A = this chain, B = another copy of it.
Amino acid sequence: MKISGGVEWGLHCCVVLSGATEPVPAAKLAEFHDVSPSYLAKQLQLLSRAGLVRSAQGHSGGYVLTRSAAEITVLDVVEAIDGAESAFRCTEVRRRGPMAAPPERCTTPCPIARVMAAADHAWRESLRAVTIGDLTADVVGTTPPETLDRALAWLRA
């Protein structure tokens, strides 16, 4: 099991966007994080489709958050990029083979699927409890103000 690497990029981009006041182009975000511009563009498109960011075309265009960073959870970003379906998919093994369970016995989900679904739920709830605003506050609280100003100035330039 491996989560898409684009999730990390998307989260970093959201944190950066939460501090910016003007639209930030994808190319600038890519250079800021030193990652592939083309591939990062794909992740930003996913964020755009999910309605987390809005894109502005043309000169001085770029990406902006559609709502306050405190209103965007980490889970929103993860699901936008990595998909919302559970990592575990029950293939209904119990209905196969010589001892296949009859359909009338399968009204409730397989116990295994239930356990995996519960774990998946716990994972998602944990991610839902944290917002991009929380992440930004953490970064702001542990970084010298002059460094933050330099970064914002670099983004503007």
Q: A-side interface residues toward B, CB under 8 Å?
A: 1-5, 7-9, 11-12, 15, 31-35, 74, 82-83, 87-91, 93-94, 96-101, 105, 108, 111-112, 115-116, 118-120, 122-127, 130, 135, 138-139, 142-143, 147, 150-151, 154
The one of B15, B34, B93, B98 that contacts A97, using a Cβ cutoff of 8 Å = B34
Q: Who on chain B is nearest to A138 by CB?
A: B111
Least CB distance from A6 to B in Å reads 11
Q: Could you say which of B97, B116, B127, B130 contacts A33, with CB atoms under 8 Å apart?
A: B97
Q: Are A90 and B8 in contact (CB under 8 A)?
A: yes
A-B contact pairs, 25 of them (CB 8 A): A1-B2, A1-B4, A2-B87, A3-B87, A5-B91, A8-B90, A8-B93, A8-B112, A12-B93, A12-B94, A15-B112, A31-B97, A32-B97, A33-B97, A34-B97, A35-B93, A101-B143, A105-B143, A112-B135, A115-B126, A115-B127, A115-B130, A116-B127, A122-B126, A123-B126
